[in-house]
Amino acid sequence: MSSTTLPTGSAPSSLHVNPPFRHAHVGSFLRPASIHTARADHASGTISASDLRQIEDREIAAHVQSLLKHNIQEITDGEFRREYFHLDFLKHIDGITISKNTLEQKEGRVPPTLSVTGKLKHTHDIEVDNFTYLRSLVPEDAVKRIKITIPSPTMCHFRGGRAAISKEAYPDLEEFFSDLAAVYRTEIDALYKAGCRYIQLDDTNLAYLTDATMRSQAESRGEDLSTLPHHYARLINASLASKPTDMVAAIHLCKGNFRSQFFAQGSEDGYNPIAKVLFQELNVNAFFLEWEDHRSGKDFTALQHLPENKIVVLGLVSSKFAKLEDKHLLIQKIQEAAEQVKGGKKQLGISPQCGFSSTVHGNEITVEDQFKKLGLCRDVALSVWDDAV
């Protein structure tokens, strides 16, 4: 991928807070039983797509009221309309084909396969109606708190690589990356026009590049790991290039989140293998990073590369397990992280390390557990930051 083929956008000019908030969450929540039932009914043809959406609307409205009741600052729809965090967005892009996997159909363990079978085009808005509905549920002064989560554009490349991209449609991969970024710019422009001011890209692939096994698998597909992170940074920047300065862009890195399991191990080096690219090349306002256990590294030294105009929301609280973390230990970890950051704690926040339900299946916790975890994040934030709300 040539850096001259993609627009670059610009880095944030200053630190942006609230959003992202000092206590935050990644976006997804456990689906209510009524949505599971409605999905099954829709799949069997018992109810229509319109009927399914009405049920989703009702449950999302109740979910938003729960967020407001619990003083959760970031407002999302819980990804209640999605089966998988990435595929339910990407399937709307012309040129992308989603193929069901037999094992996935039986057990839900292997997600459907994504491939690029034609030229990529943005033919209709994907998340605008979902944002508009959320906007109708909150007071006008809370609209800026609405966060729309979108899969990172790298999700269209890493898992399949060149082999999953039609050579007939894209004999030259540079054109593929250019078209992909253009699709994202069009969607983000439409969201901004609708009033959205806060988006989050969900990316597993940069995080996977901290795992030895995942790196080996990528190399076996012919990827050059000395250049791939830089290519991905350019792709993400090109996707955000037209974003106005008053729209906050965050990126969430995750090593997998399915029924309280993960997919990539990481190492004690944590984010250090990608830290310079991650923090210094990506033109985003904030990073949501897993940091809840040893898979995220033995320390916070990677934060030494964080510029003073960007924020890291530390994923110190597990979304995978019900047991609550120790508040004092969390505060201690934030203090340790702040020692590695030029701007100290003003460049940090706290959240669970991932969503509670990155797929429709959900983690092995309860709805009550979710809000206990978020309540803990809020208690910690109010103890650490003067501008926490």
Q: pLDDT tens digits, residue range 138-173?
A: 999 999 999 999 999 998 886 777 888 999 999 999
102: pLDDT strictly greater than 90? no
End-to-end CA, the chain = 42
10 Å Cβ neighbour count for 137? 19
Residue 382 pLDDT level (bands cut at 50, 70, 90):
very high
Examine the pLDDT at 264 and tell me if it is beyond 70: no
- How far apart, in whole angstroms, are the C-alpha atoms of residue 173 and residue 97? 18
| CA–CA gap between residue 381 and residue 345 (Å, rounded) | 11
Compute the average pLDDT of residues 328-345.
97
Model pLDDT for residues 176-193, shown as the tens digit of each residue: 999 999 999 999 999 999
Q: How much of the chain exceeds pLDDT 70, in percent?
A: 89
Q: Where are the domains of the chain?
A: 72-384
On the question of pLDDT at 281 being above 90, the answer is yes
Least confident of 54-68, 172-186, 226-240, 324-338: 226-240
Distance (Å, rounded) from C-alpha 241 to C-alpha 263? 31
Average pLDDT, the chain: 90
**pLDDT: which is higher, 223 or 264:** 223
Confidence of residue 1 (pLDDT cuts 50, 70, 90): low
How far, in Å, are 120, 126, 157, 181, 195 from residue 123 at the CA level? 9, 9, 20, 14, 20
Is residue 262's pLDDT more than 60?
no
Residue 100, pLDDT above cutoff 90: no
Q: What is the pTM of this model?
A: 0.92
Average pLDDT over residues 189-213: 88
| Three-point CA angle 340, 383, 297, nearest 5° | 35
What is the CATH topology of the domain spanning 72-384? TIM Barrel (3.20.20)
* DSSP three-state, residue 204: coil
